Amino acid sequence: MLDFFTIFSKGGIVLWCFQGTGVTESFTGPVNALIRSVILQERSGNNSYTHDALSLKYKLDNEFELVFVVGFQKILTLTYVDKFIDDVQLHFRDRYKNELEQKGALTLLNSIFAFEDDFKMLLREAEESSKARGPTSMRSFNASLKSQKTVKSMIETKGGDKGKEQGGKKNKNAKKEAPAAEPVKGEKVKAPASAQKTVENGNQGLTQEEIIQKKREEFIRKRMGAPVEKPSKSPKPAKEKPKGKEKRVWTLGGSSTKELDYSQSNGNGAHAAGDQGLDAQADPGMQLSSMKGDLLAVDYESSEGDEEEEEGEDAVERVVVVDTSKKIPKKGAIGGMFGMLKGLVGSKSLSQEDMEPVLEKMRDHLIAKNVAAEIASQLCDSVAKKLEGKVMGTFTTVASTVKGALQDSLVQILQPKRRVDILRDVLEARSQHRPFVITFCGVNGVGKSTNLAKISFWLIENGFTVLIAACDTFRAGAVEQLRTHQRRLNSLHPPQDHGGRPVVQLYEKGYGKDAAGIAMEAIAYARNQAFDVVLVDTAGRMQDNTPLMTALAKLIAVNMPDLVLFVGEALVGNEAVDQLVKFNQALADHSMSDKPRLIDGIVLTKFDTIDDKVGAAISMTYITGQPIVFVGTGQTYNDLRSLNARAVVGALMKA
């Protein structure tokens, strides 16, 4: 019932394989998809993967760097597969231990692994054990515990135990009988009054004998005419007077308010020109630096210093461990020394129990850095699978090993499977005499229009002409915002410098129109007018808004843009997962083709507001498997960067 079973090294050398009877299709396609989508993308926390009609289960052997993969039809429910793949791993390791210990590609290529007989024996045993187990039959009513209960027992135990009910009844009767004892009411009232009196006289905490002795002393003083000591009362703390409101002093405000009065200089109406004049003049604040070529990468200047500090802290921790191990014990200094070495020397392979405390701390650390909780758990599970059974190096701690593996995994996630080179793609589209189309989508208020303007500026700096399609026909002011950006960009790159032709134009049809139709007309206009790039701005929409999500899927399906970019802000945590999953799901559900267009890349905005809490970058790339193409780091046209994976991971792992 198995389609195939294969054993290969992590270097890609197939050591042994089995193909089921009647299976003609090659298993290289599903296995390569598993390697690309799961193993290389650090998603090995879950040991199953689905590819078309096949369900694949795999197991990593980290000691000998092997991968065991079994494939079967996903409509089948094979309960023995997990145990079977474990048995195959153990038998293969035990039988070919000598060959596997001699590491090297040539050794593996020259070795012969005749494992077919053992494999068939294990498969037969697994299938027979699953048949012998058989489906569990439902027990009859007479065999159940409910049949042994009588109606009386069910009534008695409904509200609790019998004793409790009787106790409850007694309490109720006692409450009812209480009013009949009115003659002794005075005594009952007296007791609390006397108790209150002792508290007032400062007798709280004294025994009965001490109180009697105290009263006798007071009585003797009264008889002798001595003054009676008044009970000492604890002094009440003096009430602090509320502080008055202090006058705020602005450091850059100057010593007098006259310096801040600009009414006289602005009173002559010198700045009463129209908006067109304002936008046409490039003010000094907009003299931006050049952005020709590839974008600069996001970098953290303090990452190296932080690493040095961490190394120093680790060294201090090691010193402390050594010192305390010398001071401890009278169990024996030798035992303490060997206990220390056992934690450092790589004499054994890592187990799940060894890594669990470190992984728990790593998981909490990632969540604190804004990584979605679900993603943090999956990452730690993947690292545990990757390290389980691996022999540690000499004098390395479990914490340093786990941290190094997690850093490598995070860098692998952030480095894209495919590189998105927009400048190269635009040149290729220009050679085909067509515009390169980019569609921006995302939720409300994340900065789609602002970052679209930044990307326009970057493209203009590299010598391309841009047409902005105003397809946000829903939000009031969306078209006017894009028109303002168009005027400012044209003021930075005047038409006279480009042969009298504006480098940026806006294609808009107002509000309330069909966005897909406007995008189609804009692309046709750009083709006729020989524009290089079309940037399609769409309305912000929440992922749960079905009508707007349907309209977005229609726009993408009808116009088939070259690039679909999801714009998300770096401030989100768990919400990033929900947004991306539902956006992709909506695009897949409302598409008319078998292979729907999903999100191709991510624009991460507001990256300058989060300091080292960069976890949203991990969450977004892990969910989609797509790269972060642009990073927004401010509010000017220059504040656009590309992602530096190692710098982001350095900030993420910083304590």
Question: Of 388, 414, 440, at which residue does a domain stop?
Answer: 414
Please give the tally of structural domains in the chain.
3
Residue 356 has pLDDT above 50, yes or no: yes
Cβ-contact 467, 522 below 8 angstroms: yes
Q: Is residue 239 part of a domain?
A: no
Partner residues linked to 325 by β-bridges: none
CA 415 to chain centre: 16
Same structural domain, 465 and 588:
yes
pLDDT digits (tens, 9 = 90+) for 582-617: 898 888 887 777 778 889 999 999 998 888 888 889
**CATH at residue 56:** 3.30.450.60
Same structural domain, 359 and 410:
yes
Cβ-contact 362, 409 below 8 angstroms: no
Residue 340 has pLDDT above 60, yes or no: no
Spatial separation of the C-alpha atoms in residues 190 and 188, rounded to whole Å: 5
Is residue 238 very low, low, confident or very high in pLDDT (cuts 50, 70, 90)? Answer: low
Spatial separation of the C-alpha atoms in residues 40 and 34, rounded to whole Å: 9
- Mean pLDDT is lowest, of 61-65, 208-212, 240-244, for 240-244
Same structural domain, 506 and 635:
yes
What pTM value is reported for the model? 0.65
Q: Is residue 188 part of a domain?
A: no
Burial per residue of 3-13, b for 16 or more beta-carbon CB atoms within 10 angstroms, e otherwise: bbbbbbbeeee
pLDDT of residue 270: 35
The residue segments making up the domain with residue 17 are 4-128
Cβ-contact 541, 473 below 8 angstroms: no
Spatial separation of the C-alpha atoms in residues 118 and 634, rounded to whole Å: 63
The residue whose two tokens read 């993308």 is: 41
Q: Is residue 241 part of a domain?
A: no
Q: Is residue 272 part of a domain?
A: no
Same structural domain, 366 and 462:
no
Question: Of 83, 107, 128, at which residue does a domain stop?
Answer: 128
Q: How far is CA 580 from CA 165, 444, 553, 571, in A?
A: 56, 14, 14, 15
* Ramachandran class of 54: left when φ > 0, alpha when ψ lies in -120 to 50, beta otherwise: beta
For the chain, what is the total number of helices (H) and then of strands (E)?
24, 13
- Percent of the chain having pLDDT more than 90? 24
pLDDT of residue 133: 65
Same structural domain, 364 and 498:
no
Q: Is residue 284 part of a domain?
A: no
Same structural domain, 516 and 375:
no
Is residue 182 very low, low, confident or very high in pLDDT (cuts 50, 70, 90)? Answer: very low
Cβ-contact 540, 448 below 8 angstroms: yes
pLDDT digits (tens, 9 = 90+) for 505-519: 999 998 988 999 999
Ranked by mean pLDDT, which of 85-99, 193-207, 270-284, 315-329 comes out on top? 85-99
Cβ-contact 133, 153 below 8 angstroms: no
Residue 108 has pLDDT above 80, yes or no: no
3-class DSSP state for residue 626? coil
Is residue 187 very low, low, confident or very high in pLDDT (cuts 50, 70, 90)? Answer: very low
pLDDT of residue 236: 59
Q: Is residue 526 part of a domain?
A: yes
Cβ-contact 638, 288 below 8 angstroms: yes
For the record, the structure tokens of 286 come out as 């907009």
Residue 225 has pLDDT above 90, yes or no: no
Same structural domain, 363 and 512:
no
* Listed residue (642, 630, 474, 473) closest to 565, CA to CA: 630
CA 235 to chain centre: 55
Same structural domain, 501 and 636:
yes
pLDDT of residue 572: 83
Cβ-contact 565, 601 below 8 angstroms: yes
Same structural domain, 456 and 553:
yes
Q: Is residue 61 part of a domain?
A: yes
Same structural domain, 430 and 376:
no
Spatial separation of the C-alpha atoms in residues 538 and 533, rounded to whole Å: 16
Residue 195 has pLDDT above 60, yes or no: no
What's the mean pLDDT in 69-76?
89
Spatial separation of the C-alpha atoms in residues 651 and 655, rounded to whole Å: 9
Could you give the residue ranges of the DSSP H alpha helices within 388-507? Answer: 398-414, 422-431, 448-461, 478-492
Cβ-contact 508, 482 below 8 angstroms: yes
Question: Of 83, 103, 128, at which residue does a domain stop?
Answer: 128
For the record, the structure tokens of 207 come out as 């025994």
Cβ-contact 64, 93 below 8 angstroms: yes
pLDDT digits (tens, 9 = 90+) for 450-505: 999 999 999 999 999 999 999 998 888 999 999 999 999 999 999 888 888 899 99
Same structural domain, 460 and 369:
no
The residue whose two tokens read 């000492």 is: 232
DSSP H or E run through 32: helix 28-34
Q: Is residue 305 part of a domain?
A: no
**CATH at residue 638:** 3.40.50.300
Same structural domain, 514 and 619:
yes
